[in-house]
Each structure stands twice: as C-alpha cells, then as structure tokens.
Amino acid sequence: MCKKFVYGVAVSDYNFIGREVETKRLMNNFRGGINTILMSPRRLGKTSLVMRVCEKLKSEDIITIYLDIFGCKSEYDFYNRLASEVLKQTASKQSMWLEEAKEFLYRLTPKISFSPEPNSDFAISLGITPTTHTPEEVLEMAEKIAIKKGKQIVVCIDEFQQIGEMTDSKHVQARLRSVWQHQKHVSYCLFGSKHHLMSSIFLHRSMPFYQFGDLIVLDKISTAEWVEYIVSHFADGKRTISSALAEEICSFTDNYSAYVQQLSWLVYTQKEEGETVDETDIKQATDDLLATNEVLFMQMVEPLSEYQLNFLRALCSGVTKDFGLANIREKYQLGSYSNINRLQKALFERDLIEKRGTELSITDPVFAKWFQRKMMF
C-alpha cells in the first residue's frame, strides 16, 4: 500500500509531484555529460528530484552514482567517501569488489563488511590517507572506470556545501575542479541544503567552481499542483478535503515540499475513511506541526545572541530592509549601525535568513511561524 504523504526522506513515484521541466532538463544534462549545480532552500525536494532522474536513467547506458557527504569533515573524509561509493555503485557484483578496487586504485587494503541479512547492503573501508594516495588518484578514478566499462558516469554529490566548510576549502575546491573539468566520460551533479554556503561556492567569481556547469535554481511547486495532489491523495484514502482547505495547507507551509507533505499527513491522520476535513482539523494539524518541530527550532535559536534574536523579531514584525536606520535599530534593540552587517552575516551563515531581491526574510516558513508564537515580546 502506498503511503499517502511522505516527508523526511526522498520521495518517488506516487509521492513525487510536478518538476516536469526540471526533470527533463536534468535528464538532458546527465545524458549530455553536462555538469549541473542544483540550488534551492532546504526542504524543496532537491534529493528527491535527483534520485528520480537517476531512477529514470537506469535503463539507459549511463551509470549514476549518488553519495551524501554530510558527515565528511575533512578533505580525505571526502576522498574516502567518494572512492567507496564510486567503486561500490559501479562494481558488477559484490564478489568483484576487491578485484575491481585494486584495479582502479592501487595500494589499497580494503575491508569489506557484509550484513548477515539477505539482500542487505554492505560497507567498505578503503583507508585512503595523504600518505597512501594523492587527491588526483582518487578524483581520476571515476573517469578510469567509465573508460574501462565503456559507460558514461554521472556522480551526484548531496550536501556539497560541506566542501566549503573544510580547512583550506578554496584549495580543496581548486583541486576538485582542476581534475573534474577535464573529464570526458564523467559529469557531476552538485547540490546541498545550505543555500548560503552553496551560493558562496558557485556564485562568486573568485571561487574555483564559478561557472562550473548548468545552474538550476529550484523554485517552489505551485499551489495549483499541490492542491490537486493533496485532494487526490485524500480521495485515494477514502477521505475528503476541499480545495480551499488544501490551499490553507499550502499557505501555512509556503509551499515548502517537505512541510506540505508533513502537514497534509497530520491532517489526514485525524480523519477516518468516509470523513471530511474541516477547519478545526487544519487548526489542530498546524498546532501539531509546530509542536513536532519545536525541539529542532529550539536548537536553532539556543546559540543565538540577543541581538540576533532581535533581528529575527524585526523580520517577523514585517521589517525586511533598512535595518541600519536609527529608528529600526532602536525599536528592535539591534545595537550600533556597524552591528547590522555582523548580525546579517551570522544569520546567513546559520542559514536562518535569505535575501530575495533587496529584502530579507526568514528562510524556513514554519520556523518563522513558530518564532512568532514563541519568541516575540
């Protein structure tokens, strides 16, 4: 039985909605060997989109490799993860791992651990260090495999902003680009959840990855598409929700994909088969959504200074620009004029605020609603 609404994990098939234009563009890039940078605020479905495209290309003569580098804190953490996943996802079968690993990357002493469960995954530790392998040896490996197998490879790297947080990050980025830009049989899809860091890597002229590939900025799915999705999925579960109430779900979550799915599920679980959603159900579900995320939101505000909290309070009160004006600084207790840039920089780095044109806003719409309820004077 299909889950009616899914959040917190990548969605596919029945739970995947819209993105026809982006899917086609990404598939064309993958087929054409075009490097792609996918950017958007978090919770808009980047991972789901990439994994959907990878799934669609399975029947074609393309090998897609997906890796999440969120846990990589150093350059060689990344090289170990990259090498492991490239070898793992290009190997013909488990029994070929050791042989193929040594063929494409010398001086390895890989340790492979298998789970006793049938059809389960397995893990490989390669032990790559600065004394055993140069960065170039690891970075060139995918190209060698592609040539050997006569295949085109697309390497999809999630949470790529981690590269920007590593020691000597700019030099690490330069090393990656210097190798990747010359590869003919491998292309890369780079995406991440911290919009500010991703922007600093790909949108600044002075950075190595500037103009590395096709930049796709993922926008929110339209209300009309979401309403149709919500109403039909309720109907599939023998429950009824009006288009107007489905629109309220979209409005409360500002069409952020993960939150639309989560709030829809909270509404759905309040009703039994044959029942109809009413305004009370929406109100209860929005309260539940804020309560469910409260621990996370508390962790987000806990390290903030009072000045930083006051800046968020100003945003929640409708101030979107001109924070340096004396009357605004005084009203919201933001400190001196020179303090404004420091506040903005700190909040950008925490991915709590974003800039839309000339105006600032809180990045996460549900966090903004929680903040209005819990943290305002």
- Number of structural domains, the chain? 3
pLDDT score, position 124? 61
pLDDT score, position 95? 55
- Give the residue from 167, 191, 217 where a domain finishes: 217
Give me 53's structure tokens.
């495209």
Name the helix (H) or strand (E) containing 338: helix 337-349
The answer as to whether 93 is a domain residue is yes
CATH number at residue 227: 1.10.8
Q: Are residues 143 and 119 in the same domain?
A: yes
Q: How far apart (Å, rounded) are the C-alpha atoms in residues 131 and 147?
A: 27
Give me 353's structure tokens.
């605020």
pLDDT band at 118 (very low <50, low <70, confident <90, very high): low
The number of residues in the chain equals: 377
Residues 145-173: what's their mean pLDDT? 94
The answer as to whether 78 is a domain residue is yes
pLDDT score, position 154? 97
The answer as to whether 97 is a domain residue is yes
Q: How far apart (Å, rounded) are the C-alpha atoms in residues 6 and 261?
A: 6
CATH number at residue 337: 1.10.10.10
Q: Encode pLDDT of 63-106 as tens digits.
A: 999 999 998 999 999 999 999 899 888 887 655 665 676 667 66
CATH number at residue 124: 3.40.50.300
Q: Encode pLDDT of 183-229 as tens digits.
A: 999 999 999 988 888 999 999 999 999 999 999 988 899 999 999 99
| 257, 221 contact by CB (below 8 A) | yes
Q: Are residues 130 and 236 in the same domain?
A: no
User: What is the domain extent for residue 278?
Assistant: 223-292
CA geometry: angle 331, 336, 341, nearest 5 deg:
105
Q: Are residues 119 and 168 in the same domain?
A: yes
- Give the residue from 292, 325, 351 where a domain finishes: 292
